[in-house]
Amino acid sequence: MEKRSPSTPKRHVIFPFHYDPSQRTVFVAASISDEPGTLAALLAHLSNYVNLIGTSSYALGGNAATFSCFGKLLSAGTTAATLQAELIASAKVVSCQVWESKEGLIVDRFHTGFEAGVGEPYVVFPNRGLSDTFEGVVRVFGSGGSTLLYDLGLSYAKARAAVYKRVIGSHPESRIDELASIVTALGYGLSAAAFDPNREALRLTSRECFECSTPSECKRQCSFLRGMAVGIFGPLFGLEVVGEETKCRHLEDDFCEFVIRAKDGRPLVR
């Protein structure tokens, strides 16, 4: 198995469900107090019964928190009911529910979706599925499809401009790396950003770009992401900007590159 250091970028693994027909698995959802040592004590107690696959915990306010996990049962004698009773009796949880897998499938029956960043709800969509969807748009509408995808990306980013401005602040030029890291963490692709020396252009690179994660018979480029880049950085810099995709994996480049410039040619940052 490949060993990764914490500094090595890696996709975040989330668990709306887990499938392993060779194992008896459970999903645990528990209310706990938001006090030092509570989570550590709960994890130590759980280790007697399950081998953890994935965990999640977050504060709810008012000295309350939620913990959930998927885990493989260590003993044939442990069931969802006995584990739930044991956790409640341990006084390490306020309340909890435990579900057991059926024919290898165990589902998170507690959460109703995902939140990220500033509490916005998200849905999960496979990269390849979204890439193929965009391919279908261009296949049907031709160059008009690429224009449509660009406009949709632009509109989407402009609608979120207030969110980006709030989290990045009034000096975005000093926090470009953080914004690129947000884009990476959200799964758009392994992203980086850097100004040209004269700051007349911002170059954004994306490896593992989701928009070109499947082959393209149309040889389309990443129009949606190009629109997003324009829609994000225009409001951040307070300028009307234009964007060009100078490299794309669909054109057999190693990565995608987007270049953002002010429409009137002035430096993006003075």
What is the pLDDT, as a whole number, of residue 18?
94
Band (257; pLDDT cuts 50, 70, 90): very high
- Domain boundary, last residue among 87, 112, 137: 112
Residue-averaged pLDDT of the chain: 91
DSSP SS3 for 228: helix
Residue 38, pLDDT above cutoff 90: yes
Q: What is the pLDDT of residue 5?
A: 56
pLDDT at 161: 87
pTM over 0.95: no
81 plus 53 within the same structural domain: yes
Residue 210 is predicted with a pLDDT of: 93
Can you read off the two tokens belonging to residue 63?
Answer: 């000295």
Confidence label for 6 from pLDDT (cuts 50, 70 and 90): low
Least confidently predicted of 5-19, 42-56, 140-154, 189-203: 5-19
Containing structural domain, residue 134: 125-262
Is the pLDDT at 4 greater than 80? The verdict is no
Residue 133 maps to a domain:
yes
Q: Which amino acid is at 235?
A: P
Say yes or no to pLDDT of 3 above 70.
Answer: no
Q: Are residues 129 and 107 in the same domain?
A: no
Residues 211 and 153: beta-carbon distance below 8 Å: no
Residue 189: CATH number of its domain: 3.30.1380.20
Residues 54 and 153 in one domain: no
Determine the average pLDDT of the residues in 121-145.
93
Q: Is the pLDDT of residue 212 over 90?
A: yes
Count of CB atoms situated within 10 Å of the CB of 260: 23
CATH number, domain of 53, equals 3.30.70.260
Of 195, 161, 196, 192, which is closest to residue 177 (Cα–Cα)?
Answer: 192
Q: If pLDDT is split at 50, 70 and 90, which confidence band does 164 have?
A: confident
* Cα three-residue angle 73-78-80, rounded to 5 degrees: 85
Q: What are phi and psi of 18, to 5 degrees?
A: -140, 140
Pinpoint the alpha helices (H) of 17-126.
38-46, 80-89
Domain assignment present for residue 229? The answer is yes
Task: Determine the Cα–Cα distance for residues 144 and 139; give it in Å rounded to an integer.
Answer: 10
Residues 131, 253, single domain; the answer is yes
Instruction: Note whether 258 and 211 are within 8 A (CB).
Output: no
Q: How many Å apart are CA 44 and CA 188, to the nearest integer?
A: 36
Domain co-membership, 185 together with 220: yes
Distance CA 150, CA 224 (A): 5
The per-residue pLDDT for range 73-93, each reduced to its tens digit, is 999 999 999 999 999 988 779
Q: Strand, coil or helix: what is 145?
A: helix
Give residue 15's pLDDT. Answer: 78
Least confident of 65-69, 174-178, 260-264: 174-178
Whether 1 has a pLDDT exceeding 50, the answer reads no
Backbone angles phi, psi at 80, to 5 degrees: -60, -40
Domain check: are 34 and 83 in the same one?
A: yes
